[in-house]
Amino acid sequence: MKALVIIDMLDDFVHGALANPRAQTIVPPLRELLRHARKESWPIVFSNDAHLPGDPELTIWGEHAMADTPGAEVIAELEPAPGPLELISPKRSYGAFDGTDLDERLRGLGVDEVVLAGQHTHICVRHSAYGALIRGYAITVPRDAVCTFAGVDEEDALEYLRTVYGARITSVEALIGRPVVGDVDHETPLGSGYDSGGVLTHEP
Ligand code: ZN
């Protein structure tokens, strides 16, 4: 079973201390992927930086996504929903599996493949992919739902994931089985505005 793992789509990484202009571009595909994962009952993991003072990487990046601050909240467009299949997984370093119980939680749900999305392709997505590889998960990365920092080559980052971790590099369209139609009101309930084939039937 697949799980969708959304990495560090937090206020500080989109609008705040470590804001990345490229992050805005992945939000619409990510919203479609999130909608699809909910429809298909995939477990969804929000793998979120939640730093404490003294965490080693703060010496590199400065304070960001400090636990229990607004900067550590998932952006409103991708807000987690309550329920047993939506997991918040706080982390204090780059990798989603590092120092967390994510492996146990995913195995408990029967997950054997992780769809990695979010930020940044060359840092936390990369370290999470390594964590997934050594724990035996298949790895899928939709290229339009991840991003590097501006100035870092996205294709190089994806190629590393493919060649070193065996990640399948794909697209949100391929994963959800239809074109990404663009952004929709995130208040729109799942299914509203779509016909049974998942085609947008009217502008929300
Ligand atoms: Zn961090």
Determine the distance separating the centroid of ligand 1 and the alpha carbon of 39, expressed in angstroms: 30
Q: Which of 8-12, 110-114, 154-158, 189-193 has the lowest mean pLDDT?
A: 189-193
Determine the distance separating the centroid of ligand 1 and the alpha carbon of 17, expressed in angstroms: 11
Determine the distance separating the centroid of ligand 1 and the alpha carbon of 123, expressed in angstroms: 10
pLDDT higher than 80, residue 190: no
Residue 73 has a pLDDT of 98
Distance separating alpha carbons of residues 136 and 187, to the nearest angstrom: 36
Determine the distance separating the centroid of ligand 1 and the alpha carbon of 46, expressed in angstroms: 14
Distance separating alpha carbons of residues 201 and 199, to the nearest angstrom: 6
- In the chain, where the domains are located: 2-176
Distance separating alpha carbons of residues 66 and 173, to the nearest angstrom: 34
pTM of the predicted protein model? 0.89
Q: How would CATH label the architecture of 2-176? A: 3-Layer(aba) Sandwich (3.40)
Determine the distance separating the centroid of ligand 1 and the alpha carbon of 40, expressed in angstroms: 30
The answer to whether residues 123 and 147 touch, using CB atoms and an 8 Å cutoff, is no
Residue 199 has a pLDDT of 43
Determine the distance separating the centroid of ligand 1 and the alpha carbon of 48, expressed in angstroms: 9
Determine the distance separating the centroid of ligand 1 and the alpha carbon of 104, expressed in angstroms: 22
Residue 184 has a pLDDT of 54
Instruction: Kindly state the average pLDDT of the residues 121-147.
Output: 98
Determine the distance separating the centroid of ligand 1 and the alpha carbon of 194, expressed in angstroms: 37
Q: Which residue has the tokens 């952006």?
A: 75
Determine the distance separating the centroid of ligand 1 and the alpha carbon of 135, expressed in angstroms: 22
More confidently predicted of 189 and 137? 137
Residue 181 has a pLDDT of 79
CA angle 128, 134, 137 (to 5 degrees): 75
Residue 182 has a pLDDT of 67
pLDDT, tens digit (0-9, with 9 covering 90-100), for 72-120:
999 999 999 999 999 999 999 999 999 999 999 999 999 999 999 999 9
Residue 89 has a pLDDT of 98
pLDDT higher than 60, residue 185: no
Residue 74 has a pLDDT of 98
The answer to whether residues 143 and 158 touch, using CB atoms and an 8 Å cutoff, is yes
Question: For the residues of the chain, what is the DSSP string, one character each?
Answer: -EEEEEE--BHHHHTSTT--TTHHHHHHHHHHHHHHHHHTT--EEEEEE-B-TT-TTHHHH-S-SBTTSGGGSBPGGGPPPSSTTEEEEEESSS-TTTTSSHHHHHHHTT--EEEEEEE-TTTHHHHHHHHHHHTT-EEEEEGGGEE--TTS-HHHHHHHHHHHH-PEEE-HHHHHTS-------TTSPTTTTB-TTS-B-S--
Determine the distance separating the centroid of ligand 1 and the alpha carbon of 43, expressed in angstroms: 23
Determine the distance separating the centroid of ligand 1 and the alpha carbon of 51, expressed in angstroms: 7
Instruction: Kindly state the average pLDDT of the residues 139-162.
Output: 97
pLDDT, tens digit (0-9, with 9 covering 90-100), for 19-60:
999 999 999 999 999 999 999 999 999 999 999 999 999 999
